[in-house]
């Protein structure tokens, strides 16, 4: 693998007057040689010198903040320049621009089956930046396209490892454990992008939903689960209230109830406490004994 090597360059502000004076001097000497008929050797020498000095202008380049230049010399990696400013280097170097800024990539909505086989739609946002300019240029064909493809592949793979919603405690799900899922996604995306010299700063799921063809059925399932959980909570609370009522009646000697009357009282209290509608009281003027 080709790794980044930082290279030092000469200051462009220093080289501009040097090249300018060299160009003026070469032109002056060339004109003087032609005017004084100094011979073809002198004319050719100063003409070649003028060409070489003119070529040196191509060595000037600018590096903006949070940018870099990747330099290659006749197909061989020469080094990278990350220090912003006005620089001069070998004019025969090829200079490729690389941005070091933090960038966002928002994946498209991908339809994939979760762990339980339910089709879901998922999309994610990946925050990334280039850290190794040499790997970004030479290890992959197009590092921006590589980030896009590998990020979507990581999102698709992660979605198949968890269910959309967990119906059992202590089980992770895409909807219920978004922070943990995002951290795992970051690790997986980084593993895929490391070879391209890219660092993953953050990942998060920005869209998660059942596919339209099963959305209504899953909604009914969620509603049923919520109703069952609520009823279970209500029954637990009602049993506790009945137990408390019987205990207080016995403790304060309000009334002495036998097993049959306790059963009738428990039945009435559970109906009142667990019913989803207002109860209609019935006054008993008689007795349960014959």
Residue with tokens 């025969």: 92
58-67, 107-116, 159-168: least confident range: 159-168
57-66, 124-133, 214-223: least confident range: 214-223
Confidence check: pLDDT of 283 > 60 = no
Say whether domain 103-210 belongs to CATH 3.30.479.30.
yes
Gap between the Cα atoms of 33 and 12, Å rounded: 31
Return the structure tokens found at 180. 């943990």
Gap between the Cα atoms of 40 and 43, Å rounded: 5
Interval 122-140 mean pLDDT: 93
Interval 12-18 mean pLDDT: 92
pLDDT 10s digits, 228-282: 777 777 777 777 777 777 777 777 666 666 677 667 777 766 666 666 666 666 6
Interval 71-91 mean pLDDT: 93
Confidence check: pLDDT of 143 > 70 = yes
Domain ranges in the chain are 10-99, 103-210, 225-274
Gap between the Cα atoms of 73 and 93, Å rounded: 5
Interval 141-167 mean pLDDT: 89
Interval 105-123 mean pLDDT: 87
Confidence check: pLDDT of 285 > 90 = no
Q: Nearest to residue 51, comparing CAs of 22, 72, 73, 31?
A: 22
Confidence check: pLDDT of 120 > 80 = yes
């Amino acid at each position: 693998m080709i790794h980044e090597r930082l290279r030092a360059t000469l200051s462009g502000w220093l080289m501009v007057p040097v090249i300018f004076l060299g160009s003026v001097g070469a032109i002056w000497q060339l004109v003087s040689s032609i005017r004084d008929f100094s011979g073809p050797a002198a004319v050719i020498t100063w003409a070649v010198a003028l060409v070489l000095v003119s070529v040196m202008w191509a060595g000037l380049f600018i590096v903006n903040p949070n940018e870099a230049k990747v330099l290659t010399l006749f197909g061989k990696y020469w080094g990278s320049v990350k220090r912003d400013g006005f620089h001069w280097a070998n004019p025969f170097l090829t200079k490729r621009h690389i941005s070091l800024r933090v960038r966002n990539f928002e994946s498209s909505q991908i339809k994939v089956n979760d762990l339980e086989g339910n089709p879901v739609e998922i999309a994610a946002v990946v925050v990334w930046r280039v850290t190794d300019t040499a790997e970004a240029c030479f290890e992959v064909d197009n590092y921006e396209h590589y980030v896009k493809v590998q990020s979507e592949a990581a999102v698709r793979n992660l979605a198949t490892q968890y269910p959309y919603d967990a119906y059992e405690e202590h089980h992770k799900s895409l909807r219920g454990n978004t922070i943990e899922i995002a951290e795992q996604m970051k690790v997986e995306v980084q593993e895929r992008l490391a070879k391209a010299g890219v660092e993953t700063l953050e990942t998060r799921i920005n869209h998660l939903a059942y596919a339209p063809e099963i959305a209504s059925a899953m909604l009914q399932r969620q509603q049923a689960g919520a109703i069952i959980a609520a009823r279970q909570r209500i029954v637990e609370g009602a049993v506790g209230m009945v137990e408390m009522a019987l205990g207080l009646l016995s403790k304060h000697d309000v009334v002495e109830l036998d097993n049959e009357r306790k059963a009738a009282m428990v039945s009435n209290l559970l109906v009142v406490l667990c019913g989803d509608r207002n109860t209609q009281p019935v006054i008993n003027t008689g007795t349960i004994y014959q």
